[in-house]
């Protein structure tokens, strides 16, 4: 199997080996120590401030998105939310569901958020800014330093869903003044799905403490309290947390977040260069790309048909899109345990499809 989707992605051999082990009982000093190490490494890789904390949630990324909306924001807030694709739209739905007053900044698919667009929201009393660092569905990486400056000028709490950007694109919580960063186990962490995590600044921890969350399972106060001793309130996905630990140590050993981001960026560049060299009939559709993924519009065939042929006839997974973009856009991911040679295999498959008249 060769998997270029954006999650679940390919895991390294060492991470898979941990997945094959028996899952241990977890109310132990050993597991607590492992969790404290997980927290320290995530904070280091996210560029979090010293007093930041990490909550490990059993549930996919959306569980952490919902937990953040429920624990950090209240009906007294006024949030600005960027909706440039399906993940931005998910935040809009969560804000609606939890009755948080908000204004939507809707962007056509594939377009960047620009300074001019933000102007009309200056000095309007917004209290929070909610954005996906990288809108994975369309492959648009937002200008985080620009949003950071807006948040600082306007005193907004800065909530960044970096689920697909963490470890793929440069990101420093302290430098950007990000209060909440969310990520998940199945993206660049390259582990199985099932765990998502939330890094909270001191300022956002205070908010969590002041608010009362009307959900037991996603209550961040409980998560943070238990986390002080390296534990979780309920039985977590123990096996995945052990795999995350192995993966974090692996990244640390190979030079940390910076090296991992560089590696991912090089892979993305390699693939994009080869696409251009071979003159494949695809067009890049994003105005501002992340290292995590290349979003492509095929000019001669349906995106979904290409996905199916690749999967069924070549054993290669590229990432299809849902909804309106089903037939127009597919994506090629660069996160996970991939090498340049893997992209050669993918390019060869595209060339073969072209020879067969399928492209
Ligand atoms: C993958 C992803 C999510 C989370 O989706 P889940 O399926 O719940 O893990 C959220 N936001 C972004 C930007 C993502 O890439």
The whole-chain average pLDDT of the chain stands at 97
Whole-angstrom distance, CA of residue 322 vs CA of residue 218: 28
**pTM above threshold 0.85:** yes
Q: What pLDDT is stored for residue 337 in this prediction?
A: 97
139 Cβ inside 6 Å of ligand 1:
no
Q: What pLDDT is stored for residue 127 in this prediction?
A: 98
Instruction: Calculate how far, in angstroms, residue 102's C-alpha sits from the geometric centre of ligand 1.
Output: 21
Instruction: Calculate how far, in angstroms, residue 135's C-alpha sits from the geometric centre of ligand 1.
Output: 9
127 Cβ inside 6 Å of ligand 1:
no
Output the residue whose Cα is nearest ligand 1's atom 4.
61
Output the residue whose Cα is nearest ligand 1's atom 6.
61
Q: 80 - beta bridge partners? A: 103, 129
Is the predicted pLDDT of residue 1 greater than 90, yes or no?
Answer: no
- Whether 12 and 250 have beta carbons less than 8 Å apart is answered as yes
Instruction: Calculate how far, in angstroms, residue 278's C-alpha sits from the geometric centre of ligand 1.
Output: 32
Mean pLDDT (whole number) for 98-109: 97
Placement of tokens 């919902």 in the chain:
66
Site to probe by mutation for ligand 1, drawn from 9, 57, 59, 61 as the one with most ligand atoms within 8 Å of Cβ, is 61
Q: Sorting pLDDT into bands at 50, 70 and 90, what band is 323?
A: confident
Burial class (CB in 10 A: 0-12, 13-18, 19+), 166: buried
Where are the strands (E) in the chain, listed by range?
2-3, 53-58, 79-83, 102-106, 128-132, 134-135, 140-141, 157-161, 180-184, 195-200, 282-284, 293-298, 316-317, 319-320, 330-333
Instruction: Calculate how far, in angstroms, residue 87's C-alpha sits from the geometric centre of ligand 1.
Output: 7
Instruction: Calculate how far, in angstroms, residue 98's C-alpha sits from the geometric centre of ligand 1.
Output: 19
Site to probe by mutation for ligand 1, drawn from 164, 198, 240, 293 as the one with most ligand atoms within 8 Å of Cβ, is 164
- Whether 104 and 91 have beta carbons less than 8 Å apart is answered as no
Give per-residue pLDDT as tens, 157-172. Answer: 999 999 999 999 999 9
194 Cβ inside 6 Å of ligand 1:
no
Ligand 1 atom closest to Cα of 135? Answer: 13
Q: What pLDDT is stored for residue 157 in this prediction?
A: 98
57 Cβ inside 6 Å of ligand 1:
no
162 Cβ inside 6 Å of ligand 1:
no
Q: What pLDDT is stored for residue 182 in this prediction?
A: 98
184 Cβ inside 6 Å of ligand 1:
yes
- Whether 280 and 359 have beta carbons less than 8 Å apart is answered as yes
132 Cβ inside 6 Å of ligand 1:
yes
136 Cβ inside 6 Å of ligand 1:
yes
Ligand 1 atom closest to Cα of 184? Answer: 9
Q: What pLDDT is stored for residue 324 in this prediction?
A: 86
Name the percent of the chain lying above pLDDT 90: 99
Give per-residue pLDDT as tens, 235-250. Answer: 999 999 999 999 999 9
Residue 264 CB coordination number (10 Å): 22
Instruction: Calculate how far, in angstroms, residue 277's C-alpha sits from the geometric centre of ligand 1.
Output: 32
59 Cβ inside 6 Å of ligand 1:
no
Give per-residue pLDDT as tens, 247-278. Answer: 999 999 999 999 999 999 999 999 999 999 99
* Residues contacting residue 340 through CB under 8 Å, at least 6 positions apart: 267, 270
Instruction: Calculate how far, in angstroms, residue 260's C-alpha sits from the geometric centre of ligand 1.
Output: 20
Give per-residue pLDDT as tens, 190-232. Answer: 999 999 999 999 999 999 999 999 999 999 999 999 999 999 9
164 Cβ inside 6 Å of ligand 1:
yes
133 Cβ inside 6 Å of ligand 1:
no
């Amino acid at each position: 199997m060769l998997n270029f989707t954006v999650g679940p992605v390919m895991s390294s051999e060492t991470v898979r080996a941990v997945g094959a082990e028996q899952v241990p009982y977890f109310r132990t000093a050993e597991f607590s120590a492992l969790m404290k190490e997980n927290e320290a490494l995530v904070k280091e890789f996210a560029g979090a401030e010293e007093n930041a904390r990490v909550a490990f949630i059993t549930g996919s990324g959306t569980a952490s998105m919902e937990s953040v909306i429920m624990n950090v924001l209240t009906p007294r807030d006024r949030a600005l939310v960027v909706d440039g694709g399906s993940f931005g739209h998910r935040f809009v739905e969560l804000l609606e569901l939890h009755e948080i007053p908000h204004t939507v900044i809707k962007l056509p698919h594939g377009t960047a958020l620009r300074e001019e667009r933000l102007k009309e929201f200056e000095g309007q009393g917004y209290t929070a800014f909610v954005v996906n660092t990288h809108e994975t569905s369309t492959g648009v990486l937002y200008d985080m330093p620009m949003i950071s400056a807006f948040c600082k000028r306007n005193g907004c709490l800065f909530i960044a869903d970096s689920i697909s950007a963490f470890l793929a694109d440069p990101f420093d919580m302290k430098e950007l003044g990000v209060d909440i960063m969310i990520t998940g186990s199945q993206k660049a962490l390259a582990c199985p799905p099932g765990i998502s995590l939330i890094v909270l600044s001191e300022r956002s921890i205070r908010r969590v403490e002041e608010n009362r969350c009307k959900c037991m399972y996603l209550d961040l106060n409980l998560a943070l309290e238990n986390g002080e001793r390296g534990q979780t309130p309920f039985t977590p996905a123990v096996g995945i947390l052990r795999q995350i630990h192995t993966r974090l140590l692996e990244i640390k050993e190979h030079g940390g977040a910076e090296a991992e981001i560089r590696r991912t960026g090089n892979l993305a560049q390699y693939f994009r260069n080869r696409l251009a060299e071979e003159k494949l009939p695809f067009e890049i559709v994003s105005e501002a790309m992340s290292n995590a993924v290349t979003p492509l519009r095929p000019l001669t065939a349906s995106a979904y048909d290409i996905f199916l042929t690749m999967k069924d006839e070549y054993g290669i997974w590229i990432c299809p899109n849902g909804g309106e973009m089903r037939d127009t856009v597919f994506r090629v991911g660069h996160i996970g345990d991939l090498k340049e040679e893997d992209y050669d295999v993918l390019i060869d498959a595209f060339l073969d499809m072209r020879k067969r008249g399928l492209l």
